[in-house]
């Protein structure tokens, strides 16, 4: 009997002295766990005579109940004091400014904005969007576009080539979005009416050139589309994109292997203290190349040039973004400086639409 008193005193003291929940748990396991002191005592009941079991059973179970209750009480007290301690140490300065949500702080890059703007304009004219890979074959980037092997026109574009493959062929980073014309014509029968925005690469870097830049290609193939249609489309595009009522455009003869005839297009503008205004002034700024798709290109894509014809154009997205939004240098476009982006970027939920305004 004395044993049990001593054990109870010892266990209750251990409960009281447990300074945190893990310590208390250790005391519980030592008393009530499978091999705990009280559990071991309970196991002895089975070996006793019925009378002794009745008497001892009541005593040991009483001990068990009191220790269990003491542990529960101590656990509650420890929880409470841990909470009090947190409440006393954690403070919240309610005078601090509320942090802005990501939709307020985040900005859409001007290139993404301009791609959305021009997609909205051309979608309204019935164009679909086509895309192709940045890594291209020499065949799609040059040969099928009617660049003859070894022709100097291939050197017009400072191409990034990959290491030659064992069979001698060489992949490259596409130098223009024009290979997607080939992909589109090989995959779809005319009528074709697509725009092709995307990244392009050339080994070039200065204030208006970066090794990676963006173009949007246009391609229309059917049985009757001609340069008159192309001229109207480009004129409507420029008015909608630059958000002006009037643009004067100048079409100059040019050369591209994949078009015949080929033209370059300038728009009239006034350059004033670094600012550019459209539809007035007596400067001209080149913005794109275009032309009627060369019969060889049609043939290379399995189309009969006696049946099908059409036009294409290629426009520098970065350049028209700089012009529209007054950004003097192209290089910061790709430096990922959040200060530049928060200055020139666009609010994420202001989607450009023709009805609602392109640039908000
Ligand atoms: N691919 C040409 C370039 O990057 C641009 C171009 C010119 C595209 C005329 C065309 C085109 O589709 O018809 O310089």
Q: DSSP string covering 60-113, please?
A: HHHHHHHHHHHHHHHHHHHHHHHHHHHHHH----TTSPPPPPHHHH--B-HHHH
| Residue 312 scores a pLDDT above 70 | yes
| Residue 156 scores a pLDDT above 80 | no
Q: How confident is the model at residue 46 (pLDDT cuts 50, 70, 90)?
A: confident
Q: What is the pLDDT of residue 1?
A: 46
And the tokens for 113?
């904005």
Between CA 347 and CA 350 the distance in angstroms is: 6
Per-domain boundaries in the chain: 4-89, 104-344
Q: What is the pLDDT of residue 255?
A: 94
Q: Which of 154-168, 265-279, 282-296 is predicted least confidently?
A: 265-279
Between CA 115 and CA 129 the distance in angstroms is: 11
Tell me the percentage of the chain whose pLDDT exceeds 70: 96
Contact 268, 278 (CB under 8 A): yes
Q: What is the pLDDT of residue 126?
A: 97
Backbone angles phi, psi at 344, to 5 degrees: -100, -10
- Ligand 1 centroid from CA 216, angstroms: 9
Indicate whether residue 256 lines ligand 1 (CB < 6 A). Answer: yes
Between CA 201 and CA 160 the distance in angstroms is: 7
| Residue 254 scores a pLDDT above 70 | yes
Between CA 238 and CA 278 the distance in angstroms is: 10
Contacts of 350 (CB under 8 A, 6+ apart): 360
| Residue 153 scores a pLDDT above 80 | no
Indicate whether residue 174 lines ligand 1 (CB < 6 A). Answer: no
Mean pLDDT of the chain: 91
Backbone angles phi, psi at 291, to 5 degrees: 165, 180
Q: Which helix (H) or strand (E) holds 325?
A: helix 317-325
Contact 134, 201 (CB under 8 A): yes
Contacts of 93 (CB under 8 A, 6+ apart): none
184 or 170: whose pLDDT is higher?
A: 184
215-239 per-position pLDDT tens digit: 999 999 999 999 999 999 999 999 9
| Residue 272 scores a pLDDT above 80 | no
Between CA 274 and CA 292 the distance in angstroms is: 35
Write the CATH number of the domain with boundaries 104-344: 3.30.930.10
Between CA 203 and CA 209 the distance in angstroms is: 9
Indicate whether residue 234 lines ligand 1 (CB < 6 A). Answer: no
Average pLDDT over residues 158-165: 90
Indicate whether residue 213 lines ligand 1 (CB < 6 A). Answer: no
Indicate whether residue 176 lines ligand 1 (CB < 6 A). Answer: yes
- Ligand 1 centroid from CA 190, angstroms: 20
Q: What is the pLDDT of residue 101?
A: 85
316-340 per-position pLDDT tens digit: 999 899 888 888 888 899 998 999 9
Q: What is the DSSP letter of 180?
A: H
Q: What is the pLDDT of residue 171?
A: 93
- Ligand 1 centroid from CA 188, angstroms: 21
Average pLDDT over residues 28-49: 90
Q: What is the pLDDT of residue 275?
A: 67
Contact 341, 107 (CB under 8 A): yes
Degrees, nearest 5: CA angle 52-53-57: 120
């Amino acid at each position: 009997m004395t044993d049990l008193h001593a054990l109870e005193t010892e266990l209750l003291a251990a409960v009281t002295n447990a300074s945190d929940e893990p310590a208390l748990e250790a005391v519980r396991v030592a008393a009530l766990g499978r091999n705990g002191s009280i559990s071991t005592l309970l196991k002895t009941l089975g070996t006793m005579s019925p009378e002794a079991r009745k008497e001892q059973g009541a005593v040991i179970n009483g001990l068990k109940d009191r220790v269990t209750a003491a542990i529960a009480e101590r656990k509650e007290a420890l929880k409470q004091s841990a909470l009090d301690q947190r409440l006393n140490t954690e403070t919240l300065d309610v005078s601090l400014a509320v942090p802005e949500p990501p939709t307020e702080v985040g900005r859409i890059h001007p290139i993404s904005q301009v791609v959305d703007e021009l997609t909205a304009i051309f979608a309204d004219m019935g164009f679909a969007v086509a895309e192709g890979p940045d890594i291209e074959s020499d065949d799609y980037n040059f040969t099928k576009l009617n660049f003859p092997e070894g022709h100097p026109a291939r050197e017009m574009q400072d191409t990034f080539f990959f290491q030659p493959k064992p069979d001698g062929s060489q992949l490259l980073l596409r130098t223009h979005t024009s290979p997607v014309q080939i992909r589109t014509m090989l995959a779809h029968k005319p009528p074709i009416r697509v725009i092709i925005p995307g990244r392009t690469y050339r080994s070039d870097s200065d204030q208006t050139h970066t090794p990676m830049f963006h173009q949007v290609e246009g391609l229309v193939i059917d049985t009757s589309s001609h340069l008159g249609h192309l001229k109207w489309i480009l004129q409507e595009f420029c008015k909608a994109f630059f958000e002006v009522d009037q643009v004067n455009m100048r079409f100059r003869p040019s050369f591209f292997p994949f078009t015949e005839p080929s033209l370059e297009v300038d728009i009239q503008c006034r350059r004033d203290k670094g600012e550019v205004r459209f539809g007035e002034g007596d400067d001209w700024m080149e913005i794109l190349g275009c032309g009627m798709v060369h019969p060889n290109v049609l043939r290379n894509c399995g189309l009969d040039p006696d049946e099908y014809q059409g036009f294409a154009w290629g426009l520098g997205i970065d350049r028209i973004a700089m012009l529209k939004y007054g950004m003097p240098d192209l290089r910061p476009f790709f430096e990922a400086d959040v200060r530049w982006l928060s200055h020139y970027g666009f609010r994420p939920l202001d989607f450009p639409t023709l009805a609602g305004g392109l640039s908000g």
